[in-house]
Structures are given as C-alpha cells and as structure tokens.
C-alpha cells in the first residue's frame, strides 16, 4: 500500500509516519520508484503499536527506539525482549535512589518471591523512589498488610502475563507485552480509581 493508505488504515498522519521513518522507528518500505514506496502489514502493525504507546503511555521517542531495537534483534530471547521493553518504558533514574529506600525495595522484591528480577533492573531504583516518598509521610505498613498487597500485585502481574500468546512472531509478542505494560497499566489505574470511588461511598457516605 501507499503511504497515504498506510496513514488511513492506522489513523497515524503522513507527517508522523515520515517522522517515524526518519527516526528509524519504522523500517523503510519497498521502493517502487524514486519517490514512491510500498508498505505492508508489518508497517501497519508497527504503527499501531507506536500509536498506542503514544496515546496511552506517553513513552518518549528514546524509549520507542529502545523498544524497536529489541524487537529487531533476533538474538535476544523473549524474556530479554521483555526486560528491555520494561527498561525502555521505565528508564533508569538520573539520580541514585536513597540507599535506605533502595534496601527496602530489594527486601520487598525478595519477600514477594520475585527471584528472577535482575539485580540491576532500573525498576528497583524506581520502586525505591516511590517508597522514599511514602516513608517521608512517616507511614509504615505492618508485615501482614504488606504481604497481602504484594500477593494481590503478584496475581495481577501473573494474570496479565498469561494473556501474552507465545505462539506468534516477535513483533506481535512485543506488541502484546507493550499493551500489557502500558495500556493495561492505564486500564488498571482507571478501574482502580472507579473502584475506590465506590468503596469510599460505602465507607464514608454515612457522614
């Protein structure tokens, strides 16, 4: 298909498609003439992925590049692809995390039983950063409460991972992983907000 048809079937403007081509986020089409290229289903799928990421997750262009690089590296295992996708979407912090908070983050990961998380995963520092804010409010949860919360999060993550269909090509799997990470993350937060409104009424509406 032509670039104009590609734009039409994906809802991404021709200007944005040209930008993605320049940035290497979209592989070039097959040249027909000097000024004309043909695009196929692979381009449609990649564009839909990029569009969803920008709409739902506000992933910066650098993050998108990291993601595309992983998808195109045939040597990487699916799990490596997933780890790199996580890092692309949640890049390392510029400042080092507070050491006490980082220690707490590592303890939480251990208590949750997430033994497969890389020791240098940027997510550990990000977790430490949020914990530092919570600790700044002087809040500490008792071990039982923490345990229950970790178990719920674990169930959510295992459930979402289960949706990924392993019997498909790498681009399609990456698409599903990214949807899982970004779009289901948004879904989770939006559902949770509505659920909280409901439970707040049950708990506080008598006053």
Interacting span for a copy of itself (CB under 8 A) from 21-29, 31-39, 91-99, 111-119: 111-119
Nearer to a copy of itself, 26 or 131 (CB): 131
Interacting span for a copy of itself (CB under 8 A) from 21-29, 65-73, 91-99, 129-137: 129-137
With CB under 8 A as the contact rule, the residue among 38, 86, 91, 98 that binds a copy of itself is 86
With CB under 8 A as the contact rule, the residue among 15, 74, 115, 167 that binds a copy of itself is 115
Query: 15 to 34, contacts with a copy of itself by CB under 8 A?
Result: none
Give the closest residue to 156 by CA, choosing from 184, 115, 129.
184
Interacting span for a copy of itself (CB under 8 A) from 12-20, 26-34, 35-43, 74-82: 74-82
* Cα–Cα distance, 62 to 132 (Å, whole number): 27
Give the closest residue to 129 by CA, choosing from 151, 105, 110.
105
Nearer to a copy of itself, 38 or 108 (CB): 108
Please state the φ and ψ torsions of residue 32, each to the nearest 5 degrees.
-100, -50
Token pair belonging to 191: 């559902």
Nearest 5°: CA angle at 136, between 130 and 140? 85
Q: Torsion angle of alpha carbons 182, 171, 122, 137, nearest 10°? A: 10
Minimal distance, residue 45 CB to a copy of itself, in Å: 10
Length of the chain: 207
Rg for the chain, CA atoms, rounded: 21
With CB under 8 A as the contact rule, the residue among 15, 99, 144, 189 that binds a copy of itself is 189
Contacting residues for 133 by C-beta, under 8 A, at least 6 apart: none
Using rule CB under 8 A, residue 3 touches a copy of itself:
no
Conformation bin of residue 95: beta by default, left when phi > 0, alpha when psi is -120 to 50: beta
Query: 90 to 109, contacts with a copy of itself by CB under 8 A?
Result: 90, 108-109
With CB under 8 A as the contact rule, the residue among 107, 111, 118, 140 that binds a copy of itself is 118
Per-residue binding letters, 147-176, with a copy of itself (x by CB under 8 A): -xxx-xxxxxxxxxx-xx-x--------x-
């Amino acid at each position: 298909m032509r670039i104009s048809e590609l734009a039409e079937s994906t809802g991404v403007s021709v200007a944005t498609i040209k930008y993605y081509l320049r940035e290497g986020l979209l592989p070039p089409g097959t040249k027909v003439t000097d000024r004309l290229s043909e695009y196929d289903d692979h381009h449609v799928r990649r564009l839909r992925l990029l569009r969803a990421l920008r709409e739902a997750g506000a992933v910066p262009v650098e993050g998108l590049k990291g993601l595309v690089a992983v998808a195109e590296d045939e040597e990487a295992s699916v799990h490596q692809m997933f780890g790199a996708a996580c890092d692309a979407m949640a890049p390392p912090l510029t400042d080092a995390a507070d050491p006490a908070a980082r220690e707490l983050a590592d303890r939480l990961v251990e208590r949750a039983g997430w033994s497969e998380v890389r020791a240098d995963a940027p997510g550990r520092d990000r977790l430490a950063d949020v914990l530092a804010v919570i600790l700044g409010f002087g809040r500490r949860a008792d071990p039982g409460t923490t345990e229950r919360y970790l178990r719920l999060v674990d169930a959510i993550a295992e459930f979402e991972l289960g949706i990924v269909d392993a019997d498909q090509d790498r681009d399609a799997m990456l698409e599903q992983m990214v949807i899982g990470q970004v779009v289901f993350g948004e879904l989770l937060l939006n559902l949770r907000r509505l659920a909280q409104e409901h439970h707040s009424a049950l708990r506080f509406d008598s006053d």
